[in-house]
DNA sequence: CTGAAAGCGCTTACAG
DNA sequence: CTGAAAGCGCTTACAG
């Protein structure tokens, strides 16, 4: 069966298309009796407006984009769900785009499909950043340092988070560290690492007593790296700080496999506070980055920019959540 | 700066819009020299076609929709990522829509935004199903029993999976069972439960020796239900079969909290085989449902329907993955 | 091989 | 309050 157009509705109701359109979008300006007749006709014909016609003419899509390179993982799922809630509540649709290159983002930003977008993307080079900002589509970058008149960014306080981790572990008496680094070039990775090292340096820990491995934020990679490290017979650290919870879990799996207990033999700490932390054994000590809130804030921020407000920089604080995966160092307690 | 339209490109290249359009979409029918001039003009003007104009006219969007009610969780993330891969590889975009009611799906199916869609939705009532099928937009339902001329469905073999779980646990010597049920009305929940009970009945297990709790596929709910059950002083089962891995993990958390060891005191088995199973302690015995493949198959199936092929029913097999969370029953070994 | 023209379905001034 | 008309940007027969 052919789908009804507004022309069909107008004919069915015996009015012009202009009036039909007004009855549907601007009900207050059409006489109640006429309006009812039109609405009734629309119902009878199962009329649903053609979104392409509407968008082409109205130059507005009431759609917000979310660009990510992958959807698997608590972080992305939360981000999408929370953004979606804010969008719906404000009469916008969320359009999630999983893309693998910046050119695709750029084209989508240019093709009039979106009124605004949130972009979560590692290492946007300067030229691409400029191009995207020049689209003059309201933009919110996550975890990146780009802003402009119609562009905001929201950053995790990753430097602080790294510092918090180091301070906590040092306070527990730890002196030999391993940091399961995230992804090179990733803003949060670099900052977490930088903050972590800063504090240890201030406390006088020799640089040789801090090992860096690259876990790429992935459980499997962290597991493999940790396993290789232990297999090489390198010294067991007092404490491990992983760039995210998933890689902390990978570390623990490798440690357990080699017969080490967490936290009795080694303390391990994550970052993010995904739901699993509480259910994992041992319950994971971590830094809660409130990543669920990022989606809410990001969506509100795009809406704000669409409203014409200027771009700005926002930050998202973290907080230490102490559970069971770190213990007071035996060494501090007097034992060797 | 104003975005260039095809008119601008045509003027810049000194040709008509028809020729400009052809150079862009149908390069072979325009003379190489002309084509080059047009492409060059498009480049100079940073021309990106207006998707709304194109879709309105061409009556084709090259976009496939995925409808889900939530994105958080390994299942949805995998589904989206794998569908996305297939879509991109075939020149389609994936448009993920997180929606909370079937009316939103229906409207989206009707508004000409999509060439086809995959719908993962619990308990679609008959009327809604009919309405959606009548949109005559190629549709693939996941985990549901709807099909038609342009509608396919892919189902997990959930009945078989429930049977496999029961057979395995019974074979281990288990005689008292607890099933952490999923979601009432959900096809897979009902079938897993049905299959599980079928086998136990065949083996002569009295119905009173099988407890059912409702975990709603959620870790937190399963944890709470299991905890309540144990707190009420009800008897510890020999084995727990949970409707998914997440709720199995919730069960284990509750059991551990009450001092019971898995698998020494109770065996626990999940379903799905999410990545975590391998890293969890104890490593989770489960039924691998190959849920990652569902996305790939679903995307291919929509593409097939768009090509004009008829709708059909597909199924996805499961396979037992034995890890560490189930052990041979002590009772079978002769101890009481 | 190229261009003039029609038209996809809609909204939006504007005239009455 | 209602309708005739223009036009958003594009593609697609069709004529030349």
Phi and psi at A153, nearest 5°, equal: -145, 150
- The answer to whether B97 faces chain A, any CB pair under 8 Å, is yes
Report chain C positions within 7 A of protein CB atoms.
1-5, 7-13
- The answer to whether B324 faces chain A, any CB pair under 8 Å, is no
pLDDT at residue A142 above 60? yes
Mean pLDDT calculated for residue range B232-258: 95
* Strand, helix or coil for residue B179: strand
Candidates A271, A169, A145; CA nearest to A217 is A271
Q: What percent of chain B has pLDDT over 70?
A: 98
CB contact under 8 A, A51 and B111: yes
Mean pLDDT calculated for residue range B243-250: 96
Distance CA B267, CA B247 (A): 14
Distance from CA of A3 to the nearest CA of B (A): 8
CA distances from A28 to A20, A34, B37, B83 (A): 12, 11, 51, 43
- What torsion do the CA atoms of B155, B96, B249, B234 make, to the nearest 10 degrees? -70
Distance CA A177, CA A136 (A): 46
Supply the pLDDT for residue A177.
97
Which residue of A113, A114, A242 to mutate against B (max B Cβ within 10 Å)?
A113
Q: Which residues pair with B29 in a beta bridge?
A: none
Mean pLDDT calculated for residue range A75-85: 96
Give the distance, in angstroms, between residue B133 CA and nucleotide D4 C1': 38
From the number of C-beta atoms within 10 Å of its C-beta (0-12, 13-18, 19+), residue B248 rates as buried
Q: Which nucleotide across the nucleic acid strands is nearest to B5, CA versus C1'?
A: D9
Distance CA A87, CA B322 (A): 43
DSSP A309: P
Mean pLDDT calculated for residue range A132-144: 91
In chain B, positions 171-230, which contact chain A (CB-CB < 8 Å)? 219-220, 223
Q: Which residues pair with A153 in a beta bridge?
A: A141, A313
Task: Record the tokens describing residue A298, joined without a space.
Answer: 């990001």
CB contact under 8 A, A111 and B49: yes
Q: Which of B81, B252, B276 lies closest to A71 in CB terms?
A: B81
How many CA atoms does the CB half-sphere of A206 hold within 13 Å?
A: 2
Residues A176-221: tens digit of each pLDDT: 999 999 999 888 999 999 999 999 999 999 999 999 999 999 999 9
Distance CA B274, CA B287 (A): 10
* Strand, helix or coil for residue A328: coil
* Strand, helix or coil for residue B241: strand
**Is residue A250 very low, low, confident or very high in pLDDT (cuts 50, 70, 90)?**
very high
Task: Record the tokens describing residue B143, joined without a space.
Answer: 């985990």
Task: Record the tokens describing residue B134, joined without a space.
Answer: 């009548």
Mean pLDDT calculated for residue range A318-335: 79
CB contact under 8 A, A136 and B1: yes
pLDDT at residue A254 above 60? yes
Write down which residues 5-24 in B have CB closer than 7 A to strand C: 15-19, 22
Distance CA B244, CA B222 (A): 10
Give the distance, in angstroms, between residue B11 CA and nucleotide C5 C1': 18
Residues from chain A contacting residue B52 (CB–CB below 8 Å): 52, 55-56, 61, 112-113
How many CA atoms does the CB half-sphere of B228 hold within 13 Å?
A: 11
- The answer to whether A317 faces chain B, any CB pair under 8 Å, is no
How many CA atoms does the CB half-sphere of B266 hold within 13 Å?
A: 26
User: Which of A145-149, A185-189, A287-291, B323-327 is the least confident region?
Assistant: A145-149
Bond from prior residue into A282 cis (ω within 30 degrees of 0): yes
CB count, 10 Å around CB of B130?
Answer: 12
Mean pLDDT calculated for residue range A305-333: 89
Mean pLDDT calculated for residue range A141-153: 88
pLDDT at residue A266 above 60? yes
Mean pLDDT calculated for residue range A89-112: 95
Write down which residues 39-58 in A have CB closer than 7 A to strand C: 47, 49-50, 53-54, 56-58
Mean pLDDT calculated for residue range A260-286: 93
Q: Which nucleotide across the nucleic acid strands is nearest to A47, CA versus C1'?
A: C9
Residues B95-107: tens digit of each pLDDT: 999 999 999 999 9
DSSP B325: S
**Is residue B331 very low, low, confident or very high in pLDDT (cuts 50, 70, 90)?**
low
pLDDT at residue A262 above 50? yes
**Is residue A153 very low, low, confident or very high in pLDDT (cuts 50, 70, 90)?**
very high
Residues B133-181: tens digit of each pLDDT: 999 899 999 988 887 889 999 999 999 999 999 999 999 999 999 999 9
The sign of the CA dihedral A12, A13, A14, A17 is negative
Q: Per-residue DSSP letters for A286-300?
A: EEE--HHHHHHHHHH
Supply the pLDDT for residue A31.
87
- Pairing of β B177-181 and β B239-242: parallel
Distance CA B168, CA B186 (A): 24
Average pLDDT, chain A: 93
In chain A, positions 240-269, which contact chain B (CB-CB < 8 Å)? 249-250, 252-253, 256
Supply the pLDDT for residue A156.
93
CB contact under 8 A, A80 and B100: no
């Amino acid at each position: 069966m052919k789908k009804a157009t507004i022309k069909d509705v107008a004919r069915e109701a015996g009015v012009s298309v202009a009036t039909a359109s007004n009855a549907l979008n601007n009900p207050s300006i059409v006489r109640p009796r006429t309006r009812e007749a039109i609405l009734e006709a629309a119902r009878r014909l199962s009329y649903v407006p053609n979104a392409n016609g509407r968008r082409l003419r109205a130059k507005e899509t009431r759609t917000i984009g979310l660009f990510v390179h992958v959807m698997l993982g608590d972080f992305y799922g939360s981000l999408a769900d929370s953004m979606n809630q804010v969008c719906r509540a404000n009469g916008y649709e969320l359009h999630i785009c999983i893309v693998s290159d910046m050119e695709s983002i750029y084209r989508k930003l240019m093709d009039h499909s979106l009124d605004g977008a949130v972009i979560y993307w590692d290492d946007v080079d300067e030229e691409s950043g400029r191009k995207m900002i020049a689209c003059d589509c309201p933009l919110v970058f996550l975890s990146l340092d780009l802003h402009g008149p119609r562009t905001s960014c929201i950053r995790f306080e990753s430097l602080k988070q790294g510092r918090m981790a180091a301070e906590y572990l040092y306070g527990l008496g730890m002196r030999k560290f391993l940091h399961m680094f995230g992804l090179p070039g990733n803003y949060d990775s670099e900052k977490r690492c930088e903050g972590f090292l800063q504090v240890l340096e201030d406390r006088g820990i020799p640089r040789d007593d801090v090992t860096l491995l690259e876990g790429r934020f992935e459980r499997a990679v962290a597991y493999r790296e940790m396993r290789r490290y232990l297999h090489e017979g390198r010294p067991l650290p007092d404490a491990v700080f992983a760039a995210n919870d998933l890689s902390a879990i990978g570390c623990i799996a490798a440690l357990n496999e080699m017969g080490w207990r967490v936290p009795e033999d080694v303390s391990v700490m994550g970052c993010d506070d995904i739901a699993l932390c509480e259910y994992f054994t041992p319950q994971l000590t971590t830094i809660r980055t409130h990543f669920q809130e990022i989606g809410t804030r990001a969506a509100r921020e795009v809406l704000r920019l669409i409203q014409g407000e200027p771009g700005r920089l926002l930050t998202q604080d973290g907080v230490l959540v102490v559970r069971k995966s770190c213990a007071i160092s035996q060494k501090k307690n007097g034992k060797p």
